[in-house]
Structure 1
Amino acid sequence: MAGIGFTLRKMTGRGDLWGIVQAYSYSAMLSSGPWLFTIMALVGITFLSRYLVTWDDLLLFRTVITYNFSFSLVFCGPIVMVGTRLLADQIHDDTLDRAPSLLFSMMLAYVLLVSAPMIWLYGYAADLTPAQRAAAIVGGYLIGLIWTVVVFVSALKNYTFVSGIFFAGMLLAFFACGFLLTGFGATGLIWGFNAGLALILFGLLAWIFVEYPALPGDLAILPRQGRVYWVLGVSGLSYNIAIWVDKWVMWMRDDSVDVVAGILRTAPYYDSAMFLSYLFTIPIFAVFFVNIETSFFEKYNRFYKSFQKHATYSAIESYQREIVNFTLLSLRNLVVLTGLLAILIVLSAAFILETMNIPFKEIGVFRFGALGACLHVLSMFAMVFLSYFDFRKPVMLLNITFLVANFTFTWLTAAYFPLHGMGYFLAAGLTFILAMSCLVYNLKRLAYGAFITNNPSI
């Protein structure tokens, strides 16, 4: 964390308003840049295509991209979580010559996991042309492989490069789609978007090969060493399913869904309102990112390094109090910021939807989605703190709880239009309460957890 932390500390330490604005703006771009560029590219492609292709072609393109993001995130969830921990171990043990082997092992694992369901869906079940089948399958591979590769570039803390390559890739996707859509319709849109994804993937790989020049040799390193971290795998899988399960339920139970290519179901009014609500959490990400990368890491590092320096119990206890006080204070400030943001979103929901040209009937979904997204992000931050202290099983149980609650509440409310979005909101609220309670409980036992419960030698 040191590299980006130095930059942010320099900005915030200047003591002027402009430095603080710079720090939080920089933080927002680094934490959410790839996400923002992808959304802007998809919005731009949609507006570009609206009057140049048929609605059926545009709907097919959007549906395939949505399904590919859904598939890739779910199948990559356990791979990325376990792979990230193994990479962290390699950094700690100074064995980064194994990093290329881990990367290719993760990429291979994703390809093996996703191939059968994706080829069945696009290759046989969906009513697509051969070119569309190939484009959809290639896109699914590209998106998932990008998730695995980003782990390694992020470990280098080169956020500027990640944001830059995503910007270049999405810019290429926009122009490629514009060039291909008039002659090839939905097929051209999907292949054009794939061109941008390919630039991102190979650009990230090129940077990794520069930083990790060793040749990959052990492609079984992920399953062999990752078995120790099976809890992280379950946690990653359940979390990513939980993010999508309310959409899946609505696709199955909502009477107003669109059916594309004979089998691909989507609920555009629900999906668009929910995805829009996620965008308003970016300021919260920025604040959290600054806190984590500056003050928190200094206290976290001092606490754990005191063990190696054989500090006295009173010194360790004082460092623990620093961490506890800072963590709770940071979350309190985030809760206040999130509460103000949620109130602002609810009150201005009609104006936001009108500005974004989204039907007014989605206002209920948007309000519930925005409130749920705020609570979801806060619970995620609590789980991030728990993960820093290696409380793996509590995080896994929280993610499973979120998954079960989101499915159950969404299923129960799906038949009532005024309650659409409430299932996600209730699940996020329940998870937030449990996550905060779990964090407070474990913070009080931080030293005990470090020496006893999380000590692999015991």
Structure 2
Amino acid sequence: MAGIGFELRKLLRKQTYAGLLQAYAFAGIISSGPWVLSIVGIMLIGLLSAGAGVASPRVSVSQFQVTVTYLFLISLISTGLVQLSFTRFVADRTFAKDEASILPNFNGLILVVMGVSMLVALPCVAIFFPEQSVLYRLLFVMGLGVMSAIWIATVFLTGMKHYRAIVLMFFLGYSATLGLALLLRRPLGLEGLLLGFVLGHYLLLMGMVYLVYRHYQSDRFVAFDIWKRGAMYTSLMATGFLFNLGAWIDKLMFWYFPSTGQQVIGPLHASVIYDFPIFLSYLSVIPGMAIFLVRIETDFVEYYVKFYNAVREGATLDYIERMRNHMVYHVRRGLFDIAKIQGIAVLSTFAAGGVVLQALGISTLYLPLLYVDVVGAALQVVLLGILNILFYLDQRRAVVLLTAMLPLCNAVFTGITLHLGAAWFGYGFALAMLVTVLTGIWILSRKLEVLEYETFMLQ
């Protein structure tokens, strides 16, 4: 993340309100990435498509939104196996001053991810979507391949200094997605909406690939070094998979639980009760994600680098301890700031949630669930901050433990709330995040207490 961190520090050094707003705006967009921005796009497409003159517009829009949600779910969980491992591979190659091997391995991984996802999806859509058109099935397969490639390309964004180009790319990509979906909805209905989504995200992917090619050069086009023994860390593969599974497992349970879910298209289910509040709550994480990226990439990283440089270069014990104390201070301050900003987002939702739902034409009966989900989403941002710091400290076992706790707790607590009834919906997700965050804070505190000892023992 050194690239974007360097640029954020430059903006903050201006010591002006404009520089401060720029830094947090860019950090919010880059850290939120395709996930949160796509939620906005999908909601806008749904709102603008209602009553647009297509056959059965409500049904088509609902089927489109559910299809896209599953594209996100499948692509995120499947690519979670390689996202973090590839991030570590890129970091190792950069540290070894072997950046020439990054681009060909990026091409190789994109080829494998897109190829495998499409080859697996093709027979599945043929078997499980017999009533859907050939165009729908092909677009589902293509959309899965494109989204899987986007998650791999996202690995590079925070490592680049071209933050203005990144923000412009996101703006153009999602504007194209929205525009094409609305343009094609009349002649093609559901297939038109999905075609617009796939084309818009394909343009976004091409923009991301362009930035990667602009940032890295190599005389090789494709390589598969990442699949060599020892190149991929199994702990990171497990972490990526478990975290994404943990974040989605409550949604899956609500979708397929008889009293809360219903079939929408083919084998794809959704939950009218649960889906909208949980996805709307994720929009509240943008401020916290911005704080997360700025605090981690400016204050914490500065003293993290100084501390480990002091250890490697044999600085005095007094200096090492001071750098360690500064680093611990900024860890605590960063997590506190994330919690504070997300707390403000939660309170703002409590105050304006009813007005927002009414403006969107949604019943205020969803308010209690929205409140709970916003708290859960806020805790998820805090958890991301904890995991990121543990990654910097190379505490991979602790990260695996936390990410293994998340899906287990989420599944158990959500299962309990499903049987308790509607008044308890959402509490399983929020409670799972709370338990994982509290465990993470305890582990992080213990690791920071013995940081000097463990650092010297590993030299």
TM-score (norm 2): 0.92
1:342 is aligned, of 315, 338, 346, to 346
Deviation of 1:264 (Å): 0.9
Q: Output the CA distance in 2 between the equivalents of 1:378 and 1:176.
A: 36
| Gap change, CA 1:225 and 1:215, over 3 Å in 2 | farther
Q: Output the CA distance in 2 between the equivalents of 1:380 and 1:181.
A: 37
Unpaired runs of 5+ residues, structure 2, are none
Q: Output the CA distance in 2 between the equivalents of 1:114 and 1:90.
A: 27
2:315 is aligned, of 311, 315, 318, to 311
Q: Output the CA distance in 1 between the equivalents of 2:428 and 2:303.
A: 38
Q: Output the CA distance in 1 between the equivalents of 2:189 and 2:11.
A: 47
**Equivalent residue, structure 1, for 2:46:** 46
Give the residue type in structure 2 aligned to 1:31: S
Give the residue type in structure 2 aligned to 1:63: V
| Gap change, CA 1:341 and 1:36, over 3 Å in 2 | closer
| Gap change, CA 1:339 and 1:275, over 3 Å in 2 | same
Moved more, 14-23 or 414-423: 14-23
Deviation readout 1:72-92 (Å, 9 max, x if unpaired): 000111211100000000111
User: Are positions 1:104 and 2:119 aligned together?
Assistant: no
Q: Output the CA distance in 1 between the equivalents of 2:318 and 2:155.
A: 38
**Equivalent residue, structure 2, for 1:366:** 370
Give the residue type in structure 1 aligned to 2:86: G
Give the residue type in structure 2 aligned to 1:105: G
| Secondary structure of the corresponding residue to residue 260 of structure 1 | strand
Q: Output the CA distance in 2 between the equivalents of 1:314 and 1:27.
A: 34
**Equivalent residue, structure 1, for 2:394:** 390
User: Are positions 1:234 and 2:227 aligned together?
Assistant: no
2:96 is aligned, of 93, 111, 133, to 93
**Equivalent residue, structure 1, for 2:204:** 200
**Equivalent residue, structure 2, for 1:265:** 269
User: Are positions 1:424 and 2:429 aligned together?
Assistant: yes
Deviation readout 1:64-119 (Å, 9 max, x if unpaired): 11110000000111211100000000111111111122212322332354345422
1:23-172 alignment, distance < 5 Å = 23-32=23-32, 34-52=34-52, 53=54, 54=56, 55-111=58-114, 113-115=116-118, 117-126=120-129, 127-172=131-176
Deviation of 1:349 (Å): 2.9
Q: Say whether the 8 Å CA contact 1:86–1:226 is kept in structure 2.
A: no
1:447 is aligned, of 446, 449, 452, to 452
Q: Output the CA distance in 2 between the equivalents of 1:104 and 1:449.
A: 37
Give the residue type in structure 2 aligned to 1:85: R
Deviation of 1:2 (Å): 5.2
Give the residue type in structure 2 aligned to 1:192: G
TM-score (norm 1): 0.93
> Runs ≥4 in structure 1, deviation > 6 angstroms?
none
- The alignment-based identity, stated in percent, is 27
Deviation of 1:383 (Å): 1.1
Q: Say whether the 8 Å CA contact 1:284–1:334 is kept in structure 2.
A: yes
Give the residue type in structure 2 aligned to 1:395: V
Deviation readout 1:38-86 (Å, 9 max, x if unpaired): 2332222212221122222212211111110000000111211100000
Q: Output the CA distance in 2 between the equivalents of 1:252 and 1:118.
A: 21
Moved more, 248-257 or 391-400: 248-257
Deviation readout 1:255-304 (Å, 9 max, x if unpaired): 24231233111113311110111111211122222212222221111111
Q: Output the CA distance in 1 between the equivalents of 2:105 and 2:356.
A: 44
Across the aligned residues of Structure 1 and Structure 2, the Cα RMSD in angstroms comes to 2.2
Give the residue type in structure 1 aligned to 2:117: V
Deviation readout 1:396-439 (Å, 9 max, x if unpaired): 11001011001111111123111111110110010110011111
Q: Say whether the 8 Å CA contact 1:79–1:109 is kept in structure 2.
A: no
Deviation of 1:319 (Å): 1.2
Deviation of 1:360 (Å): 2.0
1:356 is aligned, of 356, 360, 370, to 360
User: Are positions 1:435 and 2:440 aligned together?
Assistant: yes
| Secondary structure of the corresponding residue to residue 414 of structure 1 | helix
| Secondary structure of the corresponding residue to residue 65 of structure 1 | helix
Deviation of 1:148 (Å): 0.8
